[in-house]
Structures are given as structure tokens and as C-alpha cells.
Structure 1
Amino acid sequence: MERRGAGLASFGVFVALALIFSYIETLIPFQIGIPGVKLGLANIVIVIALYRMPVKEAYLLSVVRVVLSGFLFGNLMSILYSLAGGLLSLTVMWGLKHVKSVSVLGVSIAGGVFHNIGQLLAAALVVETYGVFSYVPVLLVSGLVTGLVIGLASGEMLKRIRGIQF
């Protein structure tokens, strides 16, 4: 019983950190004119959770973060697009995490790229046109760059919290 309470408290801390990073991101003026391009600071928490928590909890954390931050800082459409991108991204990252030759950095870069692919797939279904795929080149580059930044930050955090029990 005590162990479960500690796990729940850790989960709550991860949700709070993800929401704080989501809020900080709203304060950073980062616009390149393409819908869906964001820094994705909250994904630092998701990558760390992927490596430090059971995968079911990482998925739950991702969904809770998207829904709460969508209601706090976005709208229903942002929740839909973020869920599509986030769940595809997390699934790809979880699969790559088990490949010995892929580092945290590689996992995160793939996550950034597949997050954008998931959002594009959702957008194509919502607007019922394949015209959204004209954004593919820019979104692939932005996913690669943001995945790199998130991967560097996540890798450093994972090194620093290695001895902490969750």
C-alpha cells in the first residue's frame, strides 16, 4: 500500500512538471508560421517517464498531460492533434527504446518526427484533404530539431536522476 502511494505521488509530480513545462512554452514567443510547430518542452518529462516508469504509466502520463494542458492552454482541436501525435510518438519511442543501438537522443528525435506525422495524419482526417501533407518537409525538420533539443535535455536529466527511486 505504501509503495503504491509513493508511485502515485511520483506520477503526480510528473504531471505537474509536464504542465509547468507546457505553461512555460506558452510564454515563449516561438512562431515560424506553420501550424503545429512547437518546442515540446513537456516532452522532456515524457521521455524521462518512458525510461523511468512502466510503459502503461508513461502512456497514462502522456494522455493526462495532453488533456489537461489542452484544457488549460489550448482547445479541443489541440487536444485531438496532440493526442494523435503524442500516442504515435510514444509508441515509436517505446519500440526504439528496446533497440540497443538507439540512444535516448535517437529515441527523442524519432519521437519528435513521429509526433508531427501523427498530427498530420489527424489533420488529414479532420479536414478531409491530403493538402496538409505539403507541410511534411518543414515538420520533419522541426521534429528533428526539437527532438534533438528534447533528447539532449532528457539525456542529461536521466544521468542526473540515475540514483533516485520512483
Structure 2
Amino acid sequence: MNTKKLVHLSILVSLGLALHIMEGFIPNPFIVIAPGAKLGLANIIGLITLVIYGIKYALTVNLLRAFIAGMASGAVTSMIYSIAGAVVSTLMMWMVYKLFKKYFSLIGVSVFGAVGHNIAQLTVAAIIINNIRIYIYLPIMMLASIFTGIFIGLTANFTLKKIKVHF
């Protein structure tokens, strides 16, 4: 890996971490219908990294961001949820982006990522509490995934158009 790429990836991890932290200060718009659901602003960076650098670096950026955020906050349980969501959503977005690019825009790719993220986090919750009834929450989370995925996809798409020249 050359120095320029290392610097870019370091900046992407830092931006993802900053967005993750900033999101904690934003009132949750989903609190009434989907407690625990978040916008997932850091996923903007994951999607941008996937488009520019591919799956290997997107996974690296997302995992580093989730790990650093978890270690910095001391919330190890949150880190487990975050890492599971990051891995599954990144892989899901990569598969859709790679295999179905002509059918789905980045917005669609992002929605699939949001769905994968929520399924992964509910699966971790089911394992931790040893109860599959948590999946009753899945339809609500899927609805939230559509809205958050659209927002993240639109934002990533807009950002990519503005920064593509520099990469």
C-alpha cells in the first residue's frame, strides 16, 4: 500500500469515527417507532470506501471505526453489535454493488447494507439474550432500514460526485 492510499484510508477511518461520535449528539428521529435504530452516519464513509477502494479496504475502514469507537467509549457490548453490523452490511453492499450494479443505484446498495446491518445486530442480540423472540422487532427495523439506507445512499452519492476528482 502506498503512502497516499494509507493517508486516504486513515482519513476515512477518522471521518467515520467523527460521524459515529456526532450521531450520538443528534436526537434519534426513530425513538418512537424503532427504539435503538440510528441513522448510521458512519456508513456513509463505508459506502464511499467501498466504491473507491473496494471490499478489502471498506471492511478494514468499517472494522477499525467500530473497534476504535467501542474501545474509546468503553462500551464493549456496543462494539460487538457494531462490528457484526459493519461486517454484514459491508459484505451485503459489496455483493449487491458487484453483482447487481446495473439494477441498483448506490441508494439501493445502501438500503441492502442497512438491512444487513439490522439483521446482524438482531442476531447478536438474540444470541446474547438467548431468545429468538427479538426477531419480532425485525419488521420495524426493516422499515427503519429503508429510510436510513435511502438517506445514507443519497448522502454518499452526493459526496462521491464532489470528491471523485481527488481520488
Q: Give TM-score, length-normalised by structure 1.
A: 0.93
The 5-angstrom pairing of residues 122-161 of structure 1 reads 122-161=124-163
Aligned twin of 1:70: 70
- Equivalent of 1:17, from 15, 18, 22? 15
- The ranges of structure 1 where at least 4 consecutive aligned residues each deviate by more than 6 angstroms after the TM superposition are none
Code of the residue aligned with 2:166 in structure 1: it is: I
Rounded to whole Å, the distance in 2 between the matches of 1:74 and 1:29 is: 21
CA apart distance, 1:131: 1.4
Rounded to whole Å, the distance in 1 between the matches of 2:111 and 2:141 is: 12
Moved more, 138-147 or 33-42: 33-42
CA apart distance, 1:89: 0.8
Contact 1:26–1:73 (CA<8 Å) still a contact in 2? no
**3-state SS of paired residue (1:81):** helix
CA apart distance, 1:7: 1.0
Identity of aligned residues (%): 34
CA RMSD in angstroms comes to: 1.4
CA apart distance, 1:72: 2.5
Rounded to whole Å, the distance in 2 between the matches of 1:122 and 1:38 is: 17
Code of the residue aligned with 2:31 in structure 1: it is: I
CA apart distance, 1:43: 0.6
Contact 1:108–1:148 (CA<8 Å) still a contact in 2? yes
Rounded to whole Å, the distance in 2 between the matches of 1:36 and 1:120 is: 11
How many pairs align? 163
Runs of 5+ unmatched residues, structure 2: none
- Equivalent of 2:117, from 115, 118, 123? 115
Runs of 5+ unmatched residues, structure 1: none
**3-state SS of paired residue (2:165):** coil
Contact 2:48–2:160 (CA<8 Å) still a contact in 1? yes
Aligned twin of 2:31: 32
Contact 1:81–1:119 (CA<8 Å) still a contact in 2? yes
Contact 2:47–2:110 (CA<8 Å) still a contact in 1? yes
Code of the residue aligned with 2:76 in structure 1: it is: L
CA apart distance, 1:125: 1.1
CA shift digits 1:15-37 (9 cap, x unpaired): 11011101110111215154531
| 1:57 correspondence with 2:57 | yes
Rounded to whole Å, the distance in 1 between the matches of 2:126 and 2:114 is: 19
CA apart distance, 1:104: 0.4
CA shift digits 1:63-108 (9 cap, x unpaired): 0000111223461111111111111111110000021211101000
| 1:83 correspondence with 2:101 | no
